[in-house]
Structure 1
Amino acid sequence: MYAASYRVADLIARGLAFAGGGILILITLITCVSIAGRAFVPLDIGIGPIRGIYDITEIGMAAAIFAFLPWAQLRETHARVDLFQAALPRRVDLALDLLFNIGMAFVAIVGSWRLYLGMLDKLSYGETTLIAQIPVWQGFAASLVGAVGFVIVSVFCIWRAARRLIGMEQQV
């Protein structure tokens, strides 16, 4: 059951990371097109900058950042201070790792919950971005996909850290 759970967590994390990368590539291409369009404005040939590029970039960056969180959690690459890690006994280090994973799951759950409530709020008021008039709730919804993946992977990481603490799994 653990191996199957790992495969699911890896699939979610990897899929979201690829989606986040795709979003970043798309943002880069759209930004290049917009910049090139600005260069053609003085020539008056009808091509100009993309309207609302800042709005599109803002929403895309938020979605990409949330999409990368599950991958960082699964691969244990979040920033943390390991100043005294070498001086601690292995069991204490593994216990702290479990505590860290519980903390990250808590942050993921609370963050996802608040993001969901924010999305509902933006949806109910019909708020849109200033320039492109994109409904703001759509950016929240796009980010929520990665946030939910972060919750799922974080819960799995608690299980993995607990298995390491009791000696059922070797640390990678």
Structure 2
Amino acid sequence: MHRAVEILSRGSAVIGGVVLMILIVLSTLSIVGRELSKLGHRLADGDWFAGLGNALIATGVDEINGTYELTEAGVALAIFAFLPVCQFYGAHATVDVFTSRLPRSALGWLRAFWEIVLSATIIFITLRLYDGMLRYLGNGETTLFLQFPVWWSYAACVGAAGVACITALYCAYARLAEAVTGNTFLREG
């Protein structure tokens, strides 16, 4: 089970990384296109390089339509896609000023408690995302520029959040088992 959850969480992170890389390329191309368009218009208004400006304008180069919509949806997906691997490896930010001197057994129970709370929170967020997806599926709302259904973004996030739920439940179980047995099943963050 441990290996399967690890593969699932790492696969989710890879998907999140690919989405972020695509968004970086998309944003870069959009910014370069917008700046070339501005340059073409500036040059066309001048005397010296009007021909070059008109040539740039004639190519139709401009920013990519809908970049903001795709970035919004893609970043949301990436956040949920990275959550499982962060959970699995215990890489969430922690403040252990007060707990660092606790005995190992007390610390194990404290970790198990917070892992259970985090699991419940992730499950709650996933259920709310699912509810939002159903609402947007029912009302047919689309994005402004690209006109793709808003529920698509929610569905992608629900899928990634579902992986986060599986990982969180496994981690809660493993931390609880660690507290009971004293054995280590997960890496400590």
Runs (4+) off by over 6 Å: none
1:141-170: CA deviation from partner (whole Å, max 9, x where unpaired): 111111000100001001210221122522
1:45-74: CA deviation from partner (whole Å, max 9, x where unpaired): 112111010000000000000000000100
| Counterpart Cα distance in 2 of 1:96 and 1:168 | 13
Does structure 1 conserve the Cα–Cα contact (< 8 Å) formed by 2:86 and 2:92? Answer: yes
**Which structure is larger by alpha-carbon Rg, 1 or 2?**
2
TM-score (norm 2): 0.85
- Computed over aligned residues only, the root mean square deviation of the Cα atoms, in angstroms, reads 1.2
Number of residue pairs matched? 168
| Counterpart Cα distance in 2 of 1:91 and 1:168 | 7
| Aligned positions of 1:1-172 closer than 5 A | 5-41=1-37, 42=40, 43-44=56-57, 45-167=59-181, 169-170=183-184, 172=187
TM-score (norm 1): 0.93
**Which AA in structure 1 matches 2:31?**
I
| Counterpart Cα distance in 2 of 1:169 and 1:7 | 17
Unaligned runs of 5+ in 1: none
Q: Secondary structure at the match of 1:86?
A: coil
**Which AA in structure 1 matches 2:120?**
F
Q: Which stretch shows the higher mean deviation, 160-169 or 100-109?
A: 160-169
Q: Which stretch shows the higher mean deviation, 161-170 or 87-96?
A: 161-170
**Which AA in structure 1 matches 2:17?**
G
| Counterpart Cα distance in 2 of 1:83 and 1:132 | 49
Which residue does 2:43 correspond to in 1? none
1:11-69: CA deviation from partner (whole Å, max 9, x where unpaired): 11000000000000000001111112113322211121110100000000000000000
Unaligned runs of 5+ in 2: 41-55
**Which AA in structure 2 matches 1:47?**
V
**Which AA in structure 2 matches 1:48?**
D
**Which AA in structure 2 matches 1:33?**
L
| Counterpart Cα distance in 1 of 2:93 and 2:160 | 19
